[in-house]
Amino acid sequence: MNETMPTSSMLLIAGTDTGVGKTWTGCALARALRRAGRRVVAVKPLETGCLGPPAETEDGVALARATGQVGPRHALLRFRDPVAPPEAADREGRQIDFEALVHQIREHAARADVLLVEGAGGLLSPLTWERNAMDLARALEARVLLVAADRLGTINHTLMALRILSLVRLDVLGVVLTAPGRPDSSTGSNAVAISRLSGLSRVLCAPRVEDPEVSSDCVQEVIEWLQLT
């Protein structure tokens, strides 16, 4: 795998699936960066399943709370139904302008040392009917932090995602395996297997603890991967 480190301070947090811990990872990383004295802004471009005004349970709101940023305080575009963003947009008679979304994200990056961008769903889940998280990473010239759940099946899912990222020549910062709600016999051993099979040395196991200070400690290694100067 390509482990070169470009100078871009943009990091796309992508998942092998939905519910694997992208938001937990983004929040923990944001707190760790703040503690390291970095200006960090976290953006959730698209979020579905949003009913009414922005709620504390929303990913975009949680990310903003973790950074303490002035804005955005929630996802840039919010949709009601908990389905893929373009389907949710169609149901509401709305359109998602990918280029405008990229422009908005870049504007927020101007006031940050590090911009964290959390994708929606899995790596190939559509952001529009034509674009996905890989297109977003390419448009932003961002590195990719891949998040997966440390459970049975993750070796296959993670290796497939890494293979695709390699084929499209996107820079992979590393992989974070988050502890599942119910550990199984593979939990704790998947990181070594993924590293061995992929050749990627930066694979981290992170317990999904709720304490903010402890969670930021859990992803401290990612800060070292970033090689911030």
Cα separation, 199 vs 22, in Å, equals 23
Catalytic center residues? 44
How many CB atoms within 10 Å of residue 105? Answer: 22
Separation CA 128–CA 125 (nearest Å): 9
- Assess contact for 174 and 203: CB atoms under 8 A: yes
Q: Tally Cβ neighbours within 10 Å of residue 125.
A: 18
Helix (H) or strand (E) run with residue 99 in it: helix 98-109
Of the candidates 4, 1, 6, the one whose C-alpha atom is nearest the C-alpha of residue 142 is 6
> In angstroms, how far apart are the furthest CA atoms of the chain?
47
Residues whose CB is less than 8 angstroms from the CB of residue 15 and which lie 6 or more positions away in sequence, other chains included: 21, 22, 119, 121, 122, 123, 146, 147, 148
Looking at this protein, which amino acid is placed at residue 85?
P
